[in-house]
């Protein structure tokens, strides 16, 4: 091992030589480690110890520790062997055995090295054992080594990352007691933690305190706060701070410019974003791929397609970016323009020609495919990426998970995360949050809670986005108390809630009929400096409408106007629906006229509300006329339209019902579980529960997913049969007609489910990935 030029080569040689785990081999390895340490090759000795520990596992590691200790006297000192062992266990991730080594060092009167203790702190924070962190810190204070700035920075960073911002701030104030002074890195950790939690004002306070204590903010400090201000939508304050950078003796860099350009883009001020970009170029600061993505995406989203294509062309034809980045940007540009086939064709062409392609190009196509629901294609691109020798990034994993979550393939998403972690690929909190949001959107709060607990167990402290998604899911599931508990935890961890979690909680309260509590929470929201938005008012108006309190709903509508907000289509539809349910069609039409006067045209929801009201009052003819009207207006009917009209069909006279059914089929509606529930309940209402059970069995056999309503209908039908009620054939023609409707839906859903089964499992798509990676290695 001493003959090799580098430490890496020597360690690789040892790994090759160390092939079995027999007791004799372990003893020889102990001698090797001792000999290396005795010749002052401590790093190589640590490599040997770490590798042996990893191979033999935690069960035999204590035996290895005793063996190393019993043989060390002829080769090295107590400190030398225990320090090597401690570092070896830390490197292997065996944190509690490493703590046992520290205890042994204390017992023999040896003081652990400061660097080894610092590494141990990092590992304790990673596993989330904060009790052991404080115990180890107290042990340092009493018995040495004395904590340094580096030690304090590690602890402050660890607590801030875990959401214990108060502990981090307290440690900063305690530093001077140990003859340590907070430095720029210390302040930057706290500034970043505050900004991450939406507390930009606190971040600015820490920056001012840094200046008062004689430290000049770094570019990192300024970029963090500028970026945070832009994310909050306070671009004017960000610009003011940006202009003060030069006064502090700093030079604006690409990161500051990107943050400011992104802020203007998100504020839909494309003109100002272009102005900042021009300013950057005049100062000879070269844009990078991030600048390109921000500008091109901004033009496609909020500007004109022609301008986006002009920016794309300018980037590609100029010398603004390195030649190596051109293929990546070309592919990314096509993805932003939603020209996915062209992007894929270009990628394949570049690979065939042997031109260098980076992760950016692959991630762009994977994200674009996942966004439009083509997750199978996204996984195929991922396979190509791995075959090209590129390692996936955390962004790759997040995009794949978003694609699966959007399709409700949550179990496969969970398996994908486990697969990625097992293969050592980066999986961060964004990936977990994407899957968590999928569980919440589907209403599977049991799965969401399991994933939430796993995030904490893996040391991935949830951020504001994860908290907001979880609160929203709990609120929509009616678990309002649990949602408030998570909301309290969010605030305790230092995150400043924005409108989204407040709106979620208000929705949960309104949905539970607790309007007074909802209004109190809205007042609290205002006290926190947040301004209720359209979503807030729409939720409150809907809550009053559900209770039939239309006067209160109109009062909220008026308050919305007074705060300077303009009601949107959701507001008007909510009020129309409220009046329809109260059978006050005159007031509903009045709101419809106000909607037209405000410049809003009826959408599919507006039509669905009216058609539901007409069908409920058995005015099916008028509902059919309205169906014709919306199709003529170019509005595409949805599953709700289908179900409303289906319900009307089943309750109407047979001849007209058949004509309407033919019309529905012609419009090509897509049935869902609500459709099946509607038809199953119709069989039950017609007095033929055996048909309900027969069709339910057929749907079950093809793997169709029922909801709680389905099971209630099945239970009622089964209960009737168990009570030996006289089985009726119902009205023969009606029964036959219902069978006809049910078969059409059954056939469509069976084909859809079969096509879904043909989709390859994500893990199957990655089967040869490890083999490719190992061959590349």
DSSP states of 94-130: -HHHHHHHHHHHHHTTPPPPHHHHHHHHHHHHHHT-H
Whose tokens are 């949107």? That residue is 568
* Predicted local distance difference test score (pLDDT) of residue 775: 41
Helix (H, G, I), strand (E, B) or coil at 310: helix
Minimum mean pLDDT among 224-228, 658-662, 745-749: which range? Answer: 658-662
- 386 against 220, higher pLDDT: 220
Q: Minimum mean pLDDT among 311-315, 426-430, 645-649: which range?
A: 311-315
Alpha-carbon distances of 70 from 78, 105, 531, rounded to whole Å: 11, 14, 69
For residue 482, what is the enclosing H or E element?
helix 480-492
For the segment 568-593, the average pLDDT, to the nearest whole number, is: 89
How much is the pLDDT for 658? Answer: 61
Confidence of residue 286 (pLDDT cuts 50, 70, 90): confident
The mean pLDDT of the chain is 83
pLDDT at residue number 485 = 93
Q: How confident is the model at residue 483 (pLDDT cuts 50, 70, 90)?
A: very high
DSSP state of 325: G
234 pLDDT more than 80: yes
DSSP string, 161-203: HTT-HHHHHHHHHHGGGGT----HHHHHHHHHHHHHTT-HHHH
pLDDT digits (tens, 9 = 90+) for 46-72: 888 888 888 887 778 888 888 888 888
Q: What's the pLDDT at 62? A: 84
Encoded tokens for 656: 């007209």
3-state secondary structure of 5: coil
What pLDDT does residue 771 have? 43
With H, G, I as helix, E, B as strand and everything else as coil, classify residue 371. Answer: helix
Least confident of 269-283, 351-365, 697-711: 351-365
Condensed to tens digits (0 to 9), the pLDDT of residues 534-544 reads 999 999 999 99
235 half-sphere exposure, CB direction, 13 A CA radius: 18
Which tokens belong to 229? Answer: 């201000």
Query: Residue 116: pLDDT above 50?
Result: yes
- Taking 60 as the threshold, does the pLDDT of residue 223 lie above it? yes
pLDDT score recorded for residue 555: 93
* pLDDT tens per residue, range 353-368: 777 788 888 888 988 8
pLDDT tens by residue, 166-182 = 899 999 999 988 889 99
**Longest Cα–Cα distance in the chain:** 102
How crowded is residue 704: how many other Cβ atoms within 10 Å of its Cβ?
Answer: 18
d(CA 535, CA 521): 14
Q: What are phi and psi of 759, to 5 degrees?
A: -65, 135
Task: Give CB contacts under 8 A, 24+ apart, made by 582-588.
Answer: 582/548, 582/550, 584/550, 585/613, 587/550, 588/613
Higher per-residue confidence, 408 vs 147 = 147
Over residues 280-295, the mean pLDDT reads 82
Confidence check: pLDDT of 770 > 60: no
Task: Please determine, for residue 453, whether its predicted confidence score (pLDDT) is greater than 70.
Answer: yes
Average confidence (pLDDT) over 628-638: 79
CA distance to 50, 258, 342, 346, 419, per residue, from 361 (Å): 38, 20, 13, 10, 23
User: If you average pLDDT over residues 396-400, what whole number do you get?
Assistant: 85
Q: How far apart are the first and last CA of the chain?
A: 22
Token duo for residue 711: 């099971």
Does the pLDDT of residue 470 top 90, yes or no? Answer: yes
Q: Is the overall model pTM greater than 0.75, yes or no?
A: no
């Amino acid at each position: 091992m001493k003959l090799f030029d580098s430490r890496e080569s020597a360690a690789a040689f040892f790994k090759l030589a160390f092939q079995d785990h027999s007791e004799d081999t372990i003893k020889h390895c102990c001698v090797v480690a001792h000999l290396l340490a005795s010749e002052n090759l401590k790093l190589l000795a640590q490599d040997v110890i770490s590798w042996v520990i990893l191979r033999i596992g935690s069960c035999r590691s204590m035996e290895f520790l005793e063996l190393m200790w019993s043989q060390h006297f002829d080769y090295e000192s107590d400190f030398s062997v225990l320090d090597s062992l401690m570092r070896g266990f830390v490197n292997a991730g065996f944190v509690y055995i490493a703590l046992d080594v520290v205890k042994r060092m204390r017992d023999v009167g040896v003081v652990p090295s400061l660097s080894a203790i610092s590494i141990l702190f990092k590992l304790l924070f990673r596993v989330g054992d904060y009790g052991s962190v404080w115990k180890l810190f107290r042990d340092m204070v009493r018995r040495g080594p004395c904590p340094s700035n580096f030690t304090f920075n590690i602890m402050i960073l660890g607590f801030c990352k875990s959401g214990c911002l108060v502990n981090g701030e307290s440690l900063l104030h305690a530093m001077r007691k140990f003859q340590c002074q907070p430095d720029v890195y210390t302040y930057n950790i706290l500034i970043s933690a505050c900004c991450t939690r939406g507390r930009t004002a606190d971040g600015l306070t820490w920056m001012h305190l840094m200046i008062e204590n004689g430290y000049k903010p770094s570019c990192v400090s300024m970029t963090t706060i500028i970026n945070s201000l832009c994310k909050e939508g306070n671009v004017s304050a960000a610009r003011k701070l940006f202009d003060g950078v030069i006064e502090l003796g700093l030079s604006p860099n690409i990161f500051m410019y990107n943050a400011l350009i992104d802020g203007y883009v998100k504020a839909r001020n494309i003109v100002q974003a272009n102005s900042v970009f021009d300013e950057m170029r005049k100062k000879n600061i070269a844009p990078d791929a991030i600048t390109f993505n921000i500008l091109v995406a901004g033009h496609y989203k909020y500007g004109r397609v022609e301008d986006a294509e002009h920016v794309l062309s300018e980037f590609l034809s100029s010398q603004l970016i390195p030649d190596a980045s051109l293929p990546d940007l070309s592919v990314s540009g096509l993805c932003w323009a939603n020209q996915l086939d062209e992007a894929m064709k270009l990628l394949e062409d570049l690979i065939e020609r042997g031109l260098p392609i980076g992760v950016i190009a692959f991630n762009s196509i994977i994200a674009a495919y996942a966004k439009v629901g083509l997750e199978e294609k996204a996984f195929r691109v991922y396979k190509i990426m791995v075959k090209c020798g590129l390692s996936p990034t955390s962004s790759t994993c997040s995009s794949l998970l978003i694609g699966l979550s959007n399709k409700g393939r949550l179990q496969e998403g969970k398996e994908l995360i486990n697969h990625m972690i097992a293969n050592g690929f980066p999986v961060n909190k964004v990936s977990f949050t994407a899957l968590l949001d999928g569980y919440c959107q589907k209403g599977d709060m049991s799965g969401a809670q399991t994933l939430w607990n796993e995030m904490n167990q893996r040391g991935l402290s949830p951020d504001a986005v994860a908290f907001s998604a979880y609160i929203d899911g709990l609120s929509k599931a009616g678990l309002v108390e649990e949602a408030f508990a998570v909301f309290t935890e969010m605030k305790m961890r230092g995150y400043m809630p924005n409108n989204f979690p407040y709106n979620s909680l208000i929705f949960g309260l309104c949905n539970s009929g607790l309007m007074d509590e909802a209004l109190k929470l809205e007042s609290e929201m205002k006290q926190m400096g947040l301004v209720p938005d359209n979503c807030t008012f729409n939720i409150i108006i809907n809550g009053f409408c559900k209770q039939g309190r239309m006067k209160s709903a109109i009062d909220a509508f008026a308050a919305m106007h007074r705060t300077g907000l303009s009601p949107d289509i959701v507001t008007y539809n909510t009020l129309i629906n409220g009046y329809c349910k109260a059978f006050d069609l005159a007031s509903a039409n009045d709101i419809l006229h106000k909607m037209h006067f405000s410049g809003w045209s009826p959408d599919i929801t507006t039509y669905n509300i009216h058609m539901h009201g007409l069908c409920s009052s058995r005015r099916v003819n008028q509902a059919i006329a309205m169906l014709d009207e919306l199709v003529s207006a170019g509005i595409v009917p949805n599953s709700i339209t289908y179900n409303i009209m289906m319900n009307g069909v089943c309750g109407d006279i047979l001849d007209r019902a058949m004509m309407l059914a033919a019309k529905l089929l012609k419009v090509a509606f897509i049935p869902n579980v609500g459709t099946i529930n509607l038809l199953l309940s119709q069989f039950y209402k017609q007095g033929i529960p055996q048909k309900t059970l027969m069709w339910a069995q057929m749907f079950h056999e093809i793997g169709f997913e029922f909801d709680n309503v389905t099971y209630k209908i099945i239970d009622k039908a089964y209960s009737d049969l168990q009570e030996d009620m006289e089985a009726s054939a119902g009205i023969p023609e009606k029964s036959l007609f219902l069978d006809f409707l049910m078969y059409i839906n059954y056939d469509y859903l069976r084909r859809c489910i079969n096509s879904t089964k043909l989709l390859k499992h994500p893990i199957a798509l990655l089967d040869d990935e490890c083999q490719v990676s190992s061959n590349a290695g």
